[in-house]
Amino acid sequence: MLRLVQVGNSLPFSYPVDPTAEFEPGMIAQLNLMGNNIVCGVSDGTAPIGIIDDVRTTAFYSPSIDEVVIVPAVGHLVAGKYVSVTDVSDTLENPNILPNSFVCDIPVYLRERNGVIVIPAGTELNYDIDGDGIPDAIRAVCSYSYQVPGVPGDDSTIGSGRVTVWFQRMIASTDKYEVGQRYPINANLFVSESGVLTTRQPSATHPVVAIVTAPPNARNQFLELLWI
C-alpha cells in the first residue's frame, strides 16, 4: 500500500506495463526493454525510477513488525540459568508467512503455513509472568511478512496497459519494505533485489533513493520516507 503524504505540485507519469511483472502500490519501478519496446516493471535496485501506484498481483502481502510472543515454559537450572525443559510453541497473529522475511530475537523454528513458532528445549527463560522473581516463560519478538487472507489479487492496469509511477521529490509512506532491517530516522534507503525499500545496500551500484522520515513499529506498520 502507498500513502501520499506531501507531493506538492508534482504529478505521476504513466508507462507501458511489463506484462510479466507483479507488483503492489509502494514497490519501486524500473524501465526494461522487451523486444523493441520500453516497458515498466519492478526494480532490481540498480536503476530505480520511482514509486509504483498501481497493482498487478495474485496475492497481497503485509508486514508485522516487532510482534511480541510470551510462552509459559517449565524450566530447570543449568549453569545458574533457567532453561526450558521441553520444546514450547505458540501461534503468531498471522499465518501464511513468507519464510525469507521472518526474523526473531531468539532462535526458533517457524511453521510458516500456520504461523506457529517452536522454541526448542534448552532455550533460556527470559520472562517472569507471575512476578515472583523467577523466570517462568520465554519472550520472543518477531517480524515478518504474510499473505493477507481472504483478499484476492487484482490488476488495475487492465484496459490501459499502463502503470502509474511517482518519480519527483515527495513524502510518502508504504508497507512495502524489507522486513528484518532496522529503519532509524534519517537513514538512507535503497531498493532491494525484489523491488522494495531497505536500509541494506545490496551492492555499491545500488543508489540511495530516499531517506527515512518515520520508522515502522508494532503499532504503525508503515515506513514514511522522503523520496529524493
pLDDT in tens, 181-217: 999 999 999 999 999 999 999 999 999 999 999 999 9
Domain ranges in the chain are 2-55+156-227, 62-147
Which residue do the cell numbers 514514511 mark?
A: 224
2-55+156-227: CATH topology is Virus Head Decoration Protein; Chain: A, (2.40.300)
pLDDT in tens, 57-72: 999 999 999 999 999 9
pTM, rounded to two decimals: 0.86
- Order of strands across the sheet with 137-155? 56-72, 137-155, 103-104
* 166 touches 53 (CB < 8 A): yes
Q: Residue 164: CB partners within 8 Å, gap ≥ 6?
A: 12, 13, 14, 52, 53, 54
